[in-house]
Amino acid sequence: MRIAGILLTLIVVFALGQHFNRTTTTAKRSHAPKAEKVEKSSPQVASSTTASSSVQGVATTPKTADQHLTRVLSNLTQIAGENAETRSGGRTTYSRFYQTQGTWYWEMTANTQNAPVEVAKVTGATQDGRLLKLDMTSQVYHPDQTYRLEFQWLDRAAGEYKLHTTFENIDGNYTIGETEDVADAENDTASMSWTLGSGEGIEDESTRTDNGATTYSDFTQDDDGDWYWTLSSDKRGNVEFGKVTDIQTQDGVPVELRIQSKLDKSYGTTYTVHVSYNDDLTSYHLVTAQDNINGKYTIDDYSTDD
């Protein structure tokens, strides 16, 4: 009886042991797929991270203010004449922008010789809707005076735009290419001989700078018929020297010259020189943004200087 009880106990223990082993094995097998899923999800996380980095790595460089300014003003480098509806006092003004050594300038001329001539440097720009607001610094009419110039396209396809500025109360509409009253577009070298080229110009005391130093303006023609301009002073030597590449005339006299610099410091730079005269053509007023030159000159034969 004791032996039978012992055997029965051993049978129960063995049976329980077998059941425990099956349960443990089943439990281990039931966790294996979960572990496998975790291992498979890892590459998906890495792939998602890589894709995100790729999108974030796309470089987007916004246009700078300088690029925007150049994009707009590069369309305005041709002379634009003032429209009839905004002219006043029998005067027609002309507008254009040009760039020299990376700096933009605005140039305003007129069809009357006693009208103000302005060249101003663009020092800043703000786009306000359709309005481009330009910060300007006068170079020749009121040197160093600052003011605001506002530009707006009226009809871009037709090249028509509006300018408003506190300078001389300009508030006009302009059309690119409308220059029927502006100087003759053809070179007129003959007119140089009896005006600017008739003698050396001696600067008037009223426009002298550099502690009163006198400058001399001299237009000469070489054997090939080309004209050159030299501006010099006793103290500084040659201030400017360049070749005249285009001459615009009005009423038979040169009023606008395009000059290409031949000085080492500015070699190859092309700029515009504006000229107006007194009634008998014995003296002239010369202005240009190049070195901020703004002087009145009397031709040597008529000068009272010693």
What does the alpha-carbon distance between residue 175 and residue 178 come to, in Å, rounded to a whole number?
6
What does the alpha-carbon distance between residue 123 and residue 135 come to, in Å, rounded to a whole number?
5
Residues 81-109 pLDDT 10s: 999 899 887 778 889 998 888 899 998 88
Strand bridging mode 201-203 / 215-221: antiparallel
Residue 65 tokens, joined? 């203010």
Quick check: pTM over 0.85? Answer: no
In the block, residue with structure tokens 């009023």: 255
In the block, residue with structure tokens 């020189």: 273
Q: Which residues contact 112 (CB under 8 A, 6 or more apart)?
A: 90, 91
pLDDT average, residue stretch 244-253: 84
Which helix (H) or strand (E) segment holds residue 256: the answer is strand 253-261
Residue 151's pLDDT band (boundaries 50, 70, 90)? Answer: very high
Residue 200's pLDDT band (boundaries 50, 70, 90)? Answer: very high
Tell me what pLDDT residue 41 has. 40
What does the alpha-carbon distance between residue 295 and residue 102 come to, in Å, rounded to a whole number?
25
Eight-class DSSP state of 210: T
Tell me what pLDDT residue 6 has. 59
Contact 175, 158 (CB under 8 A): yes
Domain positions in the chain? 65-176, 189-302
What does the alpha-carbon distance between residue 99 and residue 305 come to, in Å, rounded to a whole number?
38
What does the alpha-carbon distance between residue 272 and residue 290 come to, in Å, rounded to a whole number?
8
Contact 108, 94 (CB under 8 A): yes
Residue 49's pLDDT band (boundaries 50, 70, 90)? Answer: very low
**Alpha-carbon distance values, 139 to 119, 144, 168, 294 (Å):** 6, 6, 15, 9
CATH 2.40.128 is right for the domain spanning 189-302: yes
Tell me the CA end-to-end span of the chain in Å, nearest whole number: 156
Residue 204 tokens, joined? 């008037």
